[in-house]
Amino acid sequence: VNYEKLRKHVSIYDKNRAAAKKERSENS
């Protein structure tokens, strides 16, 4: 398994989740 690629994709996933959470809290 390409660990660096896995880390990069998890990092993108975390950033997207944080952005979605921020957007939800701003809308509420």
Partner 1 sequence: GEAINALENFLNTYIPDHLILGMTIDTILQLIRGSASGSPLTIPLVYIYFFYTDQIIMNDLIDKNELFVRYRDEAFITWNHSEQQLSSLFSIAKSRFPEVKWHISSIDYPIHFVDIKVGHNTGHLFTGVYHQEMFYNDFLSSELNQLQNPNENIWNWLRKALLKAVRYCCDSVMFHSETGEIQRELLRRGHSEHIFDEALDEFYEDFGV
What does the binding site for partner 1 look like in residue numbers (CB under 8 A)?
Answer: 1-7, 9-10, 13-14
End-to-end CA distance of the chain: 40
Q: Which two tokens stand for residue 28?
A: 């509420």
Output the smallest distance, CB 16 to partner 1, in A: 12
Rg (CA), the chain: 12
CB of 11 to partner 1, least distance (A): 8
Closest separation in Å from C-beta 22 to partner 1: 15
